[in-house]
Every structure is written in C-alpha cells, then in structure tokens.
Chains A and B, each alone.
Chain A
Amino acid sequence: MRRCGLILALAAAAFAGPLACGGGSAGPPTVSFYIFHEPSGAFERGAQMCSRQSNGRYSIRISELPSTADGQRQQLVRRLAASDESIDIMGMDVVWTAEFAEAGWLHQVPGAVRDEVSRGTLEPSLRTATWRGTLYALPYNTNTQLLWYRKDLVPSPPATWAQMIAMGTRLEQQGRPGRVEIQGAQYEALTVWFNSLVASAGGRILDDAGRLALDDTAVLAADTMRRLADSPAADPSLSNQHEDDNRLAFETGRAAFELNYPFIYPSARTNAPEIFRNLGWALYPSTVEGHSSHVTIGGINLGISAFSTHPDLAFDAAVCLRDADNQRFAAVMGGLPPTLESLYDDPGLRRQYPFADTIREALATASVRPLTPAYTNVSLEIQSALSPPSAIQTQSILGRLRSAIGNALNSQGLIP
C-alpha cells in the first residue's frame, strides 16, 4: 500500500514537473538553451552573463545534449517532431540548418537581428545558417582544419596533395617519418575530407538549389584519396582513423603531416614538447596545382525553435550569447574559433592562437558542405561509397556517387 502511494506521488511529480517549469513561478521567464557539454564552462558563463545583462527580462538555463553530434540531433529531432515547447535556443551543427528549416522547426531570423548578426560575421558561417535565401540561425562558433607539419622534416609546406604525398613517400623511403595523418574512417569526417578535396578542385557536390552538381572534380578528389591510401605515406590504420587517432599518431612522431583542427596545438604542447618545437602550420593543400584550396567549415549555429513560447526573448538571448565578449571567452578558454572576424585581431586570442591569421584566411575562403534537408542521407552515402579509401575505383566512382546521392536527395532507399 505504501509502495502504491510512493508510485502515485512519483507519477504526479513527473506530470507536474513540465508544467511547473513552464511558468507561473515568480522571476524572469526562463529561456532554455540546448547545447552539448563544453568542458571549459564557456557556455555556462555566457548564459550567466547574458541573464544578468538582460536586467530581469529573461534567465537562460542550459540543458546539455549528448556528446556525439548524432545523439544531439536525435534528441532535438525527436522533440521537435513532437512540437516540444520547452526548447527555445538550440546549438545546431552547421549541417542541420536545411533539414530543420525545411521541416518547419526553426524561426526565421527577424530582419533587425539579421542585420545585426550579419555585420562582421564570416561569410561562409552565414552561408551555413542560410537555407533558400533566408537566415535561419545565428553563427556561434566555427572550426576548420589546417595542415600541420614538422618543420624539421619538411622545409616548406606543400601546396597540393600530390606534393604532400610525394614528400611523405620520399621521407618514408629514406626511413624517416613521412606519414600523412587524416580521418579515413567511415563517418562524417570522410565526407568533410571529400568535400574539401572537391571544393579545392573547383567543384561542388550540390548547387545552391540543392541539386546534384558533381562533375569530374569528384574523380580528382576520389583519385587523391586513393593515391594517398596506396602510397607509403598512408597510415596503416587509415580506414579506421578519427581526429583523435590522428592527433595521437602525430604526437608519437610517426608522421610528418596532419590535417586536423586546432585542438591538436595545445595537446602537442603538453604531450609532445619535442614535436611541438618544430610544429608548423599552413593552409589546407589544394587538389589541383595553381588552384587555391577551400577547406570545409564546421561549427555551431544558434537556432530558435518554431515551438518556442517566447521567440523574441530567445532571439535577444541568442544575440547576447554570441556577442564579441562571449565569443572571445569561448575561443580563449574553450578553443572554439569565433565567427566574428574582428576577434582574430584580438591580442588575447592571438596569444592563444599564434596561427590566427592562417585560420582567418582558411575560413574566409572556406567551403560549405552540401545544403540540403536530406544532408544526413547524402553524407552517409558519400561515406559508404568512399570507404575504405584504398578500395576506391576511380573509373566508376562518379557514377556510383551520382546515383547514391540522387537516391539520398529523395530520401529513397535504405541508408547505409
């Protein structure tokens, strides 16, 4: 009997819980902010600062999403599909914009906010937040890969992939470390690699309207991947490597080159001082001689849920969360590169990022992954067609990619 009472009480609490959060209590309305866990506490600090600066208009409460991008997306999509009103601001991976906007889950960014946000923000970051000419999210932070290399082994950084593979091969043949570290496992980073190579050859996967635009540049890109996989400069675990495996391999001294995000910089300083002393950086190598590279942009945009009960407050809060002060803090403490271009001249940030100018240059000409509501399907098909890189058939790859991506765009067939 007592047990029954306890269960009833728990059930009552469970039902009353969401209602109690919805309002009724005294104090400013709560704006919920769903984003992944950030270990340095930069997001938490931003939420506190903005709540205080709002002078009692709102109070931001952070709810943490799962650690993987897939897990974050699954939770958000499940709740948005059920018209969940408890979500106001969402930290969205740059590739989700089209999917969420097309499903009607995002508020369009109002004109005044759009004008304010567009000022001084990196153009490729804005492009990732735009779908069919409308801005749907506010660029929060960004990220991109650089070419990291060992200055003691490589006198001057290669400008193209062909040069880099040749240099690595020569080093390996001389019995010196010459490996090229890149993410070759079957997951999102394989799409990033392919996208960077296609863009750096002057092509693109989809056009602005979301239609298939793959051409011979895709063959060049796939051929580059295959040539690395076949060369002595490839890591034996290439087809199973993620970002952190590359970082480890580079720190153990087996590699001369690494294509990776700036998180490897503080890590090398702590873990491998010998290698850190000779650590050089350069722009991502190009696919074709004489053509500049266009590395793929990443990062997080802030979107406002269409089911939010106070979108105006949510937009105000989101604008505050991404202001210069909070972006600077997230960059210095959390290692998240800002989307506001002027911050790359900030002395505090430059102390942390000696490579700030290279990042800014890479970001200014960065490429965007395909903009389409079916992005996940498209990306999974690309990964499936290109994995493992050592088995890519250069002659037939274009046809295979075109038919697979064509099906994915119509959300037809089983995804791999």
Chain B
Amino acid sequence: MSVRPAARLTERARGERRLALLLCAPAVVVMAAVTAYPILYAFWLSLQRYDLRFPRRSAFVGLENYVTVVASSRWWEAVTNTVLITVVSVTIELVLGMAVALVMHRTIVGRGAVRTTVLVPYGIVTVVAAFSWRFAWTPATGYLVGWLHIGTDPLTAHGSSLAIIILAEVWKTTPFMSLLLLAGLALVPEELMEAAKVDGATAWQRFTRITLPLMRPAILVAVLFRVMDAFRIFDNIFVLTGGANKTQSVSILGYDQLFVGLNLGLGSAVSVLIFAIIALIGFIFIKGFGTAAPGAGARR
C-alpha cells in the first residue's frame, strides 16, 4: 500500500477528503472557541495594566506584568513550593501506585472488590477529602492530632503544612496512578515471564528487566499526567491552609491576583507563565523519554 500523489486522486477520493474536512470543522470551531480564544485573550490581558477596580487606569504595558511577577520573591516562593509538592508527591505516588497495581494485577480472589476499594479515594471530591484532612489535623475536632500526640496545630507551621498537603495529594491520586500502571502491566506477555522463570531469573530480575522496560510507555503517560496535574495543585491547598504560612502554589498565587486582587493583568501573566511551564514539562517528557519508550524493550 503506497500513498498516491494528490494529482492522481480520483473524483471520489477528493470528495471524501472534502467530507472529512467538513466533518472535522465543527469540532475545530468549538475547540478554537473554548480553548484557543481564552488562551489568546489571557495572553492579551497579561500585556495590559488592567485592574478591575481602576478601569480608567487601564493601558497597554507590554511585558511589564511579567517583569513584576518574575522579580517578585512571592512568585519564586510559590514555584519552589509547587515543584517540591510535585516532585515529592509524584515520586511517592509512582512507588506506591506500582505496588498497588502489582497487587491488583496478581489478585485472583475478590478482584473486583480490591479494585473498587483502591479507587475509593479517587472517587471522593477533592474539596471534601481536603476538608476531612483539615478537620482531622485540627486539635479541637481532629483525631489524628490526638493519636500522634502533637501538641500544637500542625497546619499553623510551614513544614508540617506542606507535609499534610503532600499527604492529602498522595492519598487522593495514588489510585489514578495505579490504574494507569495496571493497564501497562497488562501489556507484559505472560510467556516472556514464564521463559525468564525457566531461565532462572529471580522475581526482582523479572520485574526490573522485563516488566519495567515493557511498561515504559505506560509509566511515561502516568507520570506525565500526574506531574502536570500536581503542578496545578489548587483545591487541596485552598482548603487546608488557604496559602497561609507560605504554602502558596503557583495556582493559588494566580487565583489571589485575579479574584482577590481583581488585577486581571498580573493574574493573567501568572496564568500564562503556569501554562508555559506546563507546556515545557510536556515537551521535555515527550522529547526526553518519548522516542525511547515504545518498542525499546523489544529491540534487545
């Protein structure tokens, strides 16, 4: 099957192409309206001095908002927090998620029950889960503070607050990670494992030499999704600390500029920067690991 040059297309093939374009058009128009337009508008806003409270002082200021954001220690504080939360929580989730996925994969008895149980945290609304964590860690209402014999309120200090935010995030999204990894585990052919066993490979060797390489695409997707999600963390922090004690993430910072400060220019600049960082993360993942991933295991 070779592709014919366009000049030799039959009337029918050309008609089909036209139809294909027409069928795609509505989707493209909708996508442009709901994603491209807001993104471009946010970028346009980020180039203006635009504070809802001072409508008469609005003006085009070029990159001034970006300079303000990047020069602010609050932005870098938020970036540090976000990166810390992302790296630590995704690492823990990957290890835990892999363990849970292996358990789910190997379970023979009560498979449905095990998988349902694992999924429960992911099914709970994040804000509700965050509130229960908050109450659990507050001395008057919480049981955790009492059990662990913590004298004060752990949500009043920087380090312990961040730890609780990461805990809530891990608890909530490990099931998602393990589901994606479970799909990857299903790709590993059973015969290969049998053959390795016959050759005398230990369980650990089978896991690191066969399972992991073959799962690489699935791991890549799972980690990429979670990194992008974790970097945009908002609801957990909003409920647990509201950004107090220097626990702001970049999304909380953007929200505060937009909805508390009503400064659309600065807020949009923060949003565009978050978008750029996320896009960069995606790019690095795909470029760095993407080509190596599929079929890399089969080549050896």
Contact = CB atoms under 8 A, between A and B. Distances in A.
A102 B54 contact: yes
Nearest to A249: B140
30 contacts: A70-B260, A77-B262, A81-B52, A81-B55, A81-B262, A102-B54, A103-B54, A103-B55, A104-B56, A186-B244, A236-B151, A237-B152, A239-B156, A373-B53, A374-B53, A376-B260, A376-B261, A377-B261, A380-B261, A388-B245, A411-B53, A411-B54, A413-B74, A414-B69, A414-B74, A414-B256, A414-B270, A415-B256, A415-B260, A415-B263
Contacts of A403: none
B139 interface: yes
Given A102-B54, A237-B152, 9 more contacts: A74-B259, A103-B54, A237-B156, A240-B156, A376-B262, A413-B68, A413-B74, A414-B72, A414-B266
B291 to A, nearest CB: 39
A387 interface: yes
Contacts of B55: 81, 103-104
A377 B260 CA distance: 9
B175 to A, nearest CB: 31
A18 B55 CA distance: 26
Interface string B141-165: 0000000000111011000000000
Interface string A69-105: 0100010011001000000000000000001001110
Contacts of B188: none
A237 B153 contact: yes
B257 interface: yes
A173 interface: no
B257 A388 contact: no
Contacts of B171: none
A24 B226 CA distance: 54
Contact of A373 (B54, B140, B263): B54
Contacts of B261: 376-377, 380, 411, 415
B253 interface: yes
Interface string B262-290: 11001000100000000000000000000
A416 B266 CA distance: 13
B239 to A, nearest CB: 13
A212 interface: no
Interface of A: 70, 74, 77-78, 81, 99, 102-104, 185-186, 236-237, 239-240, 245, 248, 373-374, 376-377, 380, 387-388, 411-416
Given A237-B139, A240-B155, A414 B253 contact: yes
Nearest to B156: A240
A103 B53 contact: yes
B51 interface: yes
| The 6 A-B residue pairs with the shortest CB-CB distance in the complex, in nearest-first order | A240-B156, A81-B52, A415-B261, A414-B72, A186-B244, A414-B74
Contacts of A374: 53
Nearest to A375: B53
Given A239-B156, A414-B257, A99 B53 contact: yes
B75 interface: yes
A321 to B, nearest CB: 26
Contacts of B140: 245, 248
Given A185-B244, A376-B260, A411-B261, A77 B152 contact: no
A356 B210 CA distance: 80
B260 A412 contact: no
A18 to B, nearest CB: 22
B54 A415 contact: no
A245 B53 CA distance: 33
A236 B256 CA distance: 29
A199 B125 CA distance: 45
Given A237-B139, A373-B54, A376-B261, A414 B68 contact: yes
Nearest to B51: A411
A162 B75 CA distance: 39
A416 B285 CA distance: 32
A13 B140 CA distance: 48
Nearest to A184: B156
B75 A414 contact: yes
Given A81-B55, A103-B54, A240 B69 contact: no
Contacts of A245: 140
A388 B245 CA distance: 8
Contacts of A77: 52-53, 262
Interface in B112-160: 139-140, 151-153, 155-156
The interface centre, meaning the residue of B69, B257, B259 with most chain A CB atoms within 10 A of its CB, is B259
Contacts of A81: 52, 55, 262
Interface string B38-80: 0000000000000111111000000000001100101100000
Contact of A240 (B52, B72, B153, B260): B153
Contacts of B153: 236-237, 240
Nearest to B270: A414
Contacts of B263: 411, 415
